[in-house]
Amino acid sequence: MRLRRSFLMISGKFAFYDALNRACIENEAKDIPALIALGQYKAVVSNLLESKGLNYGQLPKGLLLFHSYPQTARTAMEEHLAEGAMYAKNNAGEVNIHFTVSPEHKALFEQLVAAKTGDYEEKFSVKYDISFSVRSRVPIRLLPIWKTIRSATRTVTCCCSVRVATVL
């Protein structure tokens, strides 16, 4: 209970807060502070994670409102557009950006790029050349590695994981 309340009380600091608040109003007919006051934490989290709201439970980081600025919030993908314009434009004002995305999210990335590139081109006086590739689906399994550390006073067992890619 304390963890949920802590998460929801600081949620105003998250870049997605305004979008989440709009989703709560649309779906629950109450804003976030009202839902919290009524103890309806699950309604807020549901609007954050499920498709009726922001659907953040199914989206990759690149599509989440992740970076907060005084007048706006940006997705991680938009942040790449802005940083590309600031740090990687060539002498002709062109910015080449390549995104490697999962196959199930490629269309969503393409839609967001189509919707946002014009704004960023105008703001930064650049021209983007954006390309995509699809990340291959290679099964990855994690192998635990156990290590025992012995000292004069105690024994500690640590576990970490190593990623092993298996190509079928």
- Is the pLDDT score of 69 beyond 50? yes
Looking at residue 8, its pLDDT comes to 58
DSSP-assigned letter for residue 31: -
Taken in order 83, 86, 87, 92, is the CA torsion positive or negative? Answer: positive
Lowest-confidence region among 12-16, 105-109, 150-154, 160-164: 160-164
The pLDDT of residue 156 is 39
Q: What is the pLDDT of residues 76-125, one digit of tens each?
A: 999 999 999 999 999 999 999 999 999 999 999 999 999 999 999 999 99
pLDDT at 6 exceeding the cut of 70? no
Minimal CA–CA distance to 163: which of 142, 147, 149? Answer: 142
Q: What's the chain's average pLDDT?
A: 81
What pLDDT is attached to residue 137? 66
Neighbour tally for 23: CB within 10 Å: 21
Mean pLDDT of 58-87: 91
Q: Which pLDDT value is given to residue 12?
A: 72
Q: Angle CA(44)–CA(14)–CA(95) in degrees, nearest 5?
A: 125
Q: How far apart are CA 162 and CA 141, in angstroms?
A: 8
Residue among 61, 59, 93, 105 nearest 80 (CA): 61
Q: Which residue has the higher pLDDT, 159 or 45?
A: 45
C-alpha–C-alpha distance, residues 136 and 167, integer Å: 10
pLDDT above 70 covers what percent of the chain? 74
3-state DSSP assignment of residue 1: coil
pTM of the model: 0.70
The residue among 168 and 33 whose pLDDT is bigger is 33
pLDDT at residue number 140: 54
The residue with tokens 């500690």 is 156
What is the structure's pLDDT at 71? 86
